[in-house]
Amino acid sequence: MMKILIILCFSAITLAKLIPYGEETEITSLRLMERLPNNIIPDWYNITLEPNFTLSIFTGSVSVKVKILNETKEIVLHAYKLEDIAKEDINITCNSVNKTIAEVSTNNKTQFLTIKLNEVITANETCVLDFRHFQGNLSDQFRVGLYLGKYNEEGSEKLLATTQFQKIHARKVFPCFDEPHLKARFLVNLIRNKNHTSISNEELENSVPLDSERVLDVYRETKRMSTYLLAFIVTEYASTEVKQGQRVFGDRPAIKNGEANFALEMGIEILSALEEYTEHRYAFNKIDQIGIPDKYFQAGAMENWGLVTYRKSLIIYPYDYQVTKGLQKTVAIISHEYSHQWFGNLVTCSWWRHTWLNEGFASYFEYFLSAMVGWDIADIFVTDSVHSALSQDSRNTTMAMNDEDATNIIVYQKASSIIRMMNHIVTEDVFRKSLVLYLNANQYKSTSPVELYQAFDTIIKQQNKTTLLGKHTILEIMKSWDSQAGYPILNVEKTNNKITVQQNRFFTDGSKDDTKWIIPLTYVLENSTHNFSTTTANEWMANTTVVLDHQSDGWVIFNKQQMGLYRVKYNEENWNLLVNQLNQKDHTQIHVLNRAQLIDDAFTFAQINQMNYSQVLELSKYLVKEEDYIPITTFLKHIAVIDSKLAQENGRKNYKIFMNSLFSGSVSNTVTMKEQPEDTLKTKYLRIDLINWLCKLGNQECTNYALGVFQNNSTISPDLQTPIYCGAMRIGNQKDWDSLFEKFKNETNDLSRSRIIDALGCSENSETLSKYITTILDKNSTINVLPAFRSIVNAGDFGVEFLFNYTYTNFTDIKALPDVSTIIINIASKLNTRNHENLLRDLSENYIELKPVFENALKMVRTNIAWNDKYGADLKDWFSQYKSGI
């Protein structure tokens, strides 16, 4: 280890001439951002920082060792929003010789700090840049750079200083070469109050008292890494005991009560699983997790190497009060951030246009690592990621994965779906070996997708598996997916002995273009020897049209296990054969993920007039036999659109009969309302959905069960508290509601209180809800208005009409609420008649100051009315016919 150079920094303001800073200009587009010259490479940084909570500033110094690649008379690096960087406080030595500085300037547009020299630095010289003093604001307003956070601990407000550097915010804390490919080693030294604790990426090496109040913490040198992965925190937090090199930090009461233990145990399991899968030991000797107060962490979670930060609520909570989905979310997010320790930290994208190399793999392993450690959510990846990517990547404004400004849905959900497609194309064995090679060949380096694809091609050739790719290389295939926006739809026309497949880019807005992809075609023919478990490509499609021969009179279904990121639309004959298979024959002959695919595609086509809702609902009738969570949750996601828009006059009563009949079938026998010890994860999720929906639909068996459990004071698990409480309130009397409200007042756990709030609005008694709103609006009330109002709107038809009428009649009181705009929009999203429109217009005319809000609300109502005008009559007829056929 290189000897540590410690330059102590204090809060005194340097009197030398300061560099002027002009108007602040944040960079909003990475595509347009000017890059640093490529003539200097940093080797290591020695940083000393001191946050001052009293003055709300931080002061610092840094030495940067660099190698000069090409002859130059200026050094350009990043610095932004840093004060007191004076020429007199900068020293540059090259090969132990001091260089004289002619001029120092900053550019707020490029965020460059330029140091011009009086003499030339020759190529291959090694230089040390010393910045002896700089200063920045320690504010709680901006949640990037080094900033202030606050939290309450046993009635006392506490402060912490924490960091968030991704993607371009390290430059706001110290002068640096702030681009991901410019990796370096870091020596971190933090000055803190003696009553505080500091944490950084590496292990603490030494603590040195500076005076009676301050301590200098010296940290070990890190591995070579990007600036955005550097992190440090100064806090009064406590931590769990160190276990296998891991700790979790949080506020003292939470740590004392064991609220971080689940995150600690899962972190240990997940890290071990990653080491085994990648065949690569974790690079550092320790990894810490820390819960930042939610309000002060916009990012949600950050993979800083060795110091992973999260919103506190994601990893620290009383285990016994948390719902299963909350626990699963913790496992998933730890899996995501720990995956980054390899994919993103060890091997890093060379520039932000390749962010998907980091986030795509982390999002992929988020699900499949969770499954490795006992949380079986691998299939849920399809509904969460594949379907989300298909939904969001279908507009003409979307961007390619390799675009610097690609949205999160592209670099997370779409990229992870493409990575899953790669896995299916090459098989799990080849996929895993390729990733092992990719990591080993590029550790501590930065990469583009080319290096990833080269690793795959190498393993494919070594394993003699080139036939898996047809006549293509993985680079050729993947370029069509990572460098083009959108995705294809396959139009499948099946005749007696031919299957004609045509690809087009899929749009939901009517746009057209001639984009083509190299598509892995997988398909199953009814009564053929093909099966759904082998997902390598049957054929490769690079042209607009391909014709396949077949000898089957039955149906064909494409995209086995929905392994490819594309939609499929069939001719009417084949579609009817698939619907018949599901409704009249053994529906399990079609893979569960393909059943979900058929539902998702069909509803999507109906929403853009490429299929009639009657066709979709005929397909959905098979759900009376369905017992698996994946197709049912896919259906519920889409039927929620109809549920939120369908007007009473368009057969809403018969719609509820249809829904009740679906969920009174096989699934109600398989998934009992009462929890069972043998419940799988998907069974637990399905039970929650069924109770929520059946009780909302007025199913008497559901509401009677819920009320009975509630009135008997039976123990209710966190998973079922909201569904059971809500179902009970729907038919309960005032005494029942008062009993639940009393439970809310006596409850001390925030998670339980939130679940009760979600249920109190489910009453279908006007007097009860009026009393509730009066209580909410009382000036001494501790109830959060927005969640309480939202619970009434989300409870169903009764709540929507009640709250709208109450708001209309008492708008003077509602107008005074801070969340009035959100309340109006939430209600309007459920309104669907011209009477609603007229009443809203009245409010708009009487309260001009809220005109923009009412304009948005009226637009939503008119959209719902137009939807009913377009689809209502057909839906009414179909639901009526369905009722007649029961």
Distance (Å, rounded) from C-alpha 263 to C-alpha 265? 6
| Residue 336 among known ligand-binding residues | yes
Residue 169 DSSP code: T
Residue 151 Cα distances to 196, 237, 668, 750, angstroms: 14, 10, 45, 15
Residue of 337, 526, 627, 837 marked catalytic: 337
366 is catalytic: no
The residues with which 62 forms a beta bridge, in sequence order, are 47, 131
Cβ-based burial of 425 (10 A; exposed 0-12, middle 13-18, buried ≥19):
buried
Query: Cα torsion for 31, 36, 85, 164, to the nearest 10°?
Result: 50
Q: Are 468 and 424 in contact (CB under 8 A)?
A: no
Distance (Å, rounded) from C-alpha 317 to C-alpha 319? 6
Distance (Å, rounded) from C-alpha 472 to C-alpha 301? 38
- 65: cis peptide before it, omega within 30°? no
Residue 33 DSSP code: P
| Residue 340 among known ligand-binding residues | yes
For residue 638, the surrounding DSSP H or E stretch is: helix 629-645
Who contacts 217 (Cβ-Cβ below 8 Å, separation ≥6)? 189, 190, 191, 192, 198, 200, 204, 206, 207
Cβ-based burial of 523 (10 A; exposed 0-12, middle 13-18, buried ≥19):
buried
**b/e burial code for range 683-715 (CB count within 10 A of at least 16 → b):** bbbbbbbbbbbbbbbbbeebbebbbebbeeeee
Residue 46 Cα distances to 87, 221, 224, angstroms: 19, 9, 13
Q: Are 63 and 129 in contact (CB under 8 A)?
A: yes
Residue 475 Cα distances to 134, 440, 472, 752, 770, angstroms: 46, 20, 8, 51, 63
For residue 741, the surrounding DSSP H or E stretch is: helix 734-746
Annotated binding-site positions for Zn(2+)? 336, 340, 359
Annotated binding-site positions? 336, 340, 359
Active site residues: 337
